Amino acid sequence: MLNANVLEFIESFEVARLATVDVENRPNVVPICFVCGEKGVIYSAIDSKPKKVTGRNLQRVNNISVNPSVSVVFDKYSEDWDQLGYVVVHGLAQLLLSGDERQYAENLLRAKYPQYETYLKKGAPIIRVIADRHVSWGNILTHQSENKSIDK
Amino acid sequence: MLNANVLEFIESFEVARLATVDVENRPNVVPICFVCGEKGVIYSAIDSKPKKVTGRNLQRVNNISVNPSVSVVFDKYSEDWDQLGYVVVHGLAQLLLSGDERQYAENLLRAKYPQYETYLKKGAPIIRVIADRHVSWGNILTHQSENKSIDK
């Protein structure tokens, strides 16, 4: 679903923001750490970051259980507003509690974030987001262009 | 509704992320520029940033017109995860099309973002978010601490 330019943009970020909807149709939005797997599937762990962990995780997990529709935004800010850009991925989320795919995602997350050695329990639940559409806006091609040749 | 520590944290950011819900109860989330007004009311303009402007703005405006519940997240990322922190403001949004409050908000936005000289039409619609509750997580006290005395 996600083309190469969109995936490259998304994967350049350490943090994205995940929006879910609660049972009363009110949105919730939180920052998330994430990885992209094969075919652009997005994974985010229910991790063990300090303080109020249970509460903040329960909200998004509860929301997904009653309404799996989610959106994830990946955006860059710049003082030069000609350089602004973002991608919003819309899709369906599911909590992975076990299985090969959960382990695959955990491995990817640990490879991306060395902090997970401290903050991620082995076997932790992982949210999977399968994109069904996306919106891109502004300049999403130059996010990491400084270190790349222009014709890569 | 928002205490001084929360307001100071929020106001330290150039960009936040606004989540709305569409008529089919699917979330949308986009990066926004914003200001805080009196009593912690949050304002964000329907501005004129380049490319696909109409579309991206219509989504959030349409959503608010059918469901005024919104969430806005303000978060800082750090490689040191003990320094992570965020505030999520939950509230009700309304589009201001005219009047003194709209002008007040436009003035605040122009004062915060010099880019609006180019990217904001005079009299542009402005989204007002009135917070009814918020969630804070992690370390929201040290965001700008480098330039402040510890006992301020």
B49 Cβ under 8 Å from any chain A Cβ: yes
User: What is the pLDDT, as a whole number, of residue A95?
Assistant: 96
pLDDT tens digits along B25-61: 999 999 999 999 988 899 999 987 764 545 445 799 9
ipTM confidence: 0.90
Do B69 and A115 lie within an 8 Å CB cutoff? no
Average pLDDT over residues B88-93: 97
User: What is the pLDDT, as a whole number, of residue B141?
Assistant: 83
A25 Cβ under 8 Å from any chain B Cβ: yes
Average pLDDT over residues B98-105: 97
CB atoms within 10 A of CB A51: 13
A24 CB neighbours in chain B (<8 A) are 69
In sequence order, the 6+-apart residues with CB closer than 8 A to the CB of A151 are: none
- Residue B76 predicted with pLDDT over 70: yes
Q: Is residue B28 within 8 Å of residue B63, measured between CB atoms? A: yes
User: What is the pLDDT, as a whole number, of residue A81?
Assistant: 93
pLDDT tens digits along B118-145: 999 999 999 999 999 999 999 998 655 4
- Residue B146 predicted with pLDDT over 80: no
Which of the residues in chain A have pLDDT under 50? 51, 53, 55-56, 145-152
Which of B14, B21, B30 lies at the smallest CB-CB distance from A25? B21
Burial tier of B114 (Cβ tally within 10 Å: 0-12, 13-18, 19+) = exposed
In chain B, the domains with their CATH numbers are 4-141 (2.30.110.10)
User: What is the pLDDT, as a whole number, of residue B152?
Assistant: 31
Higher per-residue pLDDT: A2 or B13: B13
- CA A81/CA A129 separation, integer angstroms: 30
In sequence order, the 6+-apart residues with CB closer than 8 A to the CB of B67 are: A25, B20, B21, B22, B23
- CA B32/CA B21 separation, integer angstroms: 16
Identify the DSSP state of B68. -
User: What is the pLDDT, as a whole number, of residue B2?
Assistant: 83
Q: Which of residues 73-92 of A touch B (CB under 8 A)?
A: 73, 75, 77, 79, 81-82, 84, 86, 88, 90
Q: Output the average pLDDT for chain A.
A: 88
Cα angle, residue A67 at apex, residues A64 and A71 outer, rounded to 5°: 70
